[in-house]
Amino acid sequence: MQATVGAMTELIPGLAPGPDGALRCWWSTGDSAYIDYHDTEWGFPVVDDRRLFEKICLEGFQSGLSWLTILRKRDNFRRAFADFDPAVVAAFGPGDVHRLVNDAGIVRHRGKIEATINNAERYAELVAECGSLAAYAWSFEPAERPPVIDHATLLAMSTTSESIAMSNDLRRRGWKFVGPTTVYAFMQAMGVVDDHVEGCLVRGPAETSRHSLVRPTRPK
């Protein structure tokens, strides 16, 4: 049943009405770009390596900024970073760094730019061992989740044992800008976890997609 505005708003903190009157996660309703991202992407499972590489890179760029800033610049990021093709980005040199630092359409943070190029180089090494970034990332899916995902639970859960483990492992592999909070945001974005608040109209569809997904696995 679709949640709508009414007494439920008071009973379930963390929900807010969108323009259509339906209740969504509180963070998503202030901008049309946020609503579209929340309704069609966030929490839905992703197994495509190109999109996963994009997501983890953009989460790194988001550090210290709002996600809406990154979302509004996402098309510019895709243009600037060859649609996040890891093989192409790994070949970027000093001239590309200079180009990117001077690109007003993206976040012009030299450290984050250089980290993205570095991570593209490390991507090939990870895939050689794990088969794909998808198989690697999904191997950190939690075996158990809190019985109820509500506002208070999410506010207290900026990192998890799984995000800490993935962060530590990625940093051991030489990846950069992949702290536990960034990694947990990546896990939320790619659907390894579904953190739509109970009562959000998207939680059901996201859960259905996750339940029907055939998880990629690492080679044995």
Active-site annotation, residues: 37, 59, 67
Cβ–Cβ contacts within 10 Å for residue 97, how many?
14
Residues in contact with 204: Cβ distance below 8 Å, sequence separation at least 6, in sequence order: none
* Nearest Cα residue to 44 out of 36, 82, 23: 36
Cβ distance 202 to 39 under 8 Å?
yes
Interatomic CA distance for residues 133 and 61, integer angstroms: 19
Q: Cβ distance 178 to 152 under 8 Å?
A: no
Element (H, E) at 77: helix 67-80
Helix (H) or strand (E) holding 148: none
| Of residues 182, 211, 202, 217, the one with CA closest to residue 45 | 211
Cα-only R_g, the chain: 18
Residue type, 166: M
3-state SS class at 200: coil
What residues contact 217, with CB distance under 8 A and at least 6 apart? 131, 135, 138, 139
